[in-house]
Structure 1
Amino acid sequence: MKFAEITENRRFSLGPVRVEEPDALAFARNYDDQWFHTDPVRAQAGPFQGLIASGWHTCALAMQLVSRDILAGSESYASPGLSYLRWPNPVRPGDLLTLEIQVLESRISASRPWLGIVRWQWQMHNQKGTQVLDLEATSMFKIGEEPG
């Protein structure tokens, strides 16, 4: 999708994507090896009463949906980061996640007219409608030739 199509107030609904236990375990063992992400037996007796996926795995799944369904074929260039990131509820193996996106702002940079800027809110929910991810990201798109 091209920058010109990512207009202010546009909404996207992406997914669903299923969280598979082997994938959640592998991700956690590689990147977030806390026991409630990696040890199903111990996690069952823990505060979440079962294994939960890493929040970073949840972010990776959201990014996978965005990169495949929105950013593929775009002028996506970079991101200066997130305004905020929240994991209001845990994600569990077997959950079916859907990502809802609202474009809050889409504009051309005043100082770099070759750069498009998108500020958007991503909210992910499980199959019960429970929110499991909420973030606001800024993305940049190279829409012209950079001088020099």
Structure 2
Amino acid sequence: MTGHPHHGGGESTRYFEDFPVGSVYELGSCEITAADIIEFGTKFDPQPYHIDEESGKASPFRGLIASGWHTASLFMRLYVDSLLLDSAAVGSPGVDDLRWLRPVRPGEVLHGRLTVVDSAPAPFRPECGVLRKRGVMRDAEGRPVLKLLLFSMVLRRPAAPPPVESRGDGAG
């Protein structure tokens, strides 16, 4: 098996060196429905404006809105599907600066974008580098609804094997 054992591996695997500072990745889009909002809210964030349309209307939000954790989960799904699964990522030391900037309502289409803002060697894992990336989720009008700063540990590209020397007898 070639590549990282937890990923597709092979020729398309992206390593630490393949994420230069300044790179921007469009992560795709997703639509959020009232049913999605209520299901997530009921399971994970059962505040009235996440689980009931009438309660949402009576809230300061004046309608049903997605949990910020739901919005963050949607961002993560777009990130994983479009970029992370084809990389040699081996984990994350965390997230900073998570902000929910506007309420997300049923029927909205959200779009994710990721920008590499910094990279450095991993202090205790010489086979890895750490990427710092700014993630933003926007609504269809381009207004940001979520922003966060992600950190990823990514394997460095393996060294190329030394060339096979010819023995001069035609045997390789």
TM-score for the superposition, normalised by structure 2:
0.79
* Rg larger for: 2
User: CA separation in 2, counterparts of 1:74 and 1:27?
Assistant: 28
Letter in 1 for 2:153: M
Over 6 Å off, 4+ runs:
none
User: CA separation in 2, counterparts of 1:46 and 1:24?
Assistant: 16
User: Secondary structure at the residue paired with 1:72?
Assistant: helix
User: CA separation in 2, counterparts of 1:20 and 1:142?
Assistant: 37
Does the Cα contact within 8 Å between 1:113 and 1:144 map onto a contact in 2? no
Pairwise CA distance, 1:95: 0.6
Selected match of 2:48 from 25, 28, 35? 35
Greater CA drift, 102-111 or 12-21: 102-111
Tell whether 2:141 aligns with 1:141. no
Greater CA drift, 117-126 or 4-13: 4-13
Superimposed CA distance per residue, residues 11-31 of structure 1 (whole angstroms, 9 cap, x where no aligned partner): 011221101111111111100
Superimposed CA distance per residue, residues 85-122 of structure 1 (whole angstroms, 9 cap, x where no aligned partner): 00011111111001121100123325421012110000
Question: Could you tell me which residue of structure 2 aligns to residue 60 of structure 1?
Answer: 73
Question: Could you tell me which residue of structure 2 aligns to residue 47 of structure 1?
Answer: 60
- Percentage of pairs with the same residue: 34
Question: Could you tell me which residue of structure 1 aligns to residue 87 of structure 2?
Answer: 74
Superimposed CA distance per residue, residues 50-95 of structure 1 (whole angstroms, 9 cap, x where no aligned partner): 0000000001000001101001131111111112100011111111
Selected match of 2:135 from 122, 128, 133? 122
Letter in 1 for 2:69: W
TM-score for the superposition, normalised by structure 1:
0.91
User: CA separation in 2, counterparts of 1:106 and 1:60?
Assistant: 24
Number of aligned residues: 145
User: Secondary structure at the residue paired with 2:83?
Assistant: helix
User: CA separation in 2, counterparts of 1:120 and 1:137?
Assistant: 5
Does the Cα contact within 8 Å between 1:29 and 1:38 map onto a contact in 2? yes
Question: Could you tell me which residue of structure 1 aligns to residue 14 of structure 2?
Answer: 2
Q: Which runs of 5+ in 2 are unaligned?
A: 1-12, 159-172
Does the Cα contact within 8 Å between 2:119 and 2:132 map onto a contact in 1? yes
User: CA separation in 1, counterparts of 2:86 and 2:117?
Assistant: 22
Tell whether 2:110 aligns with 1:97. yes
Q: Which runs of 5+ in 1 are unaligned?
A: none
Question: Could you tell me which residue of structure 2 aligns to residue 109 of structure 1?
Answer: 122
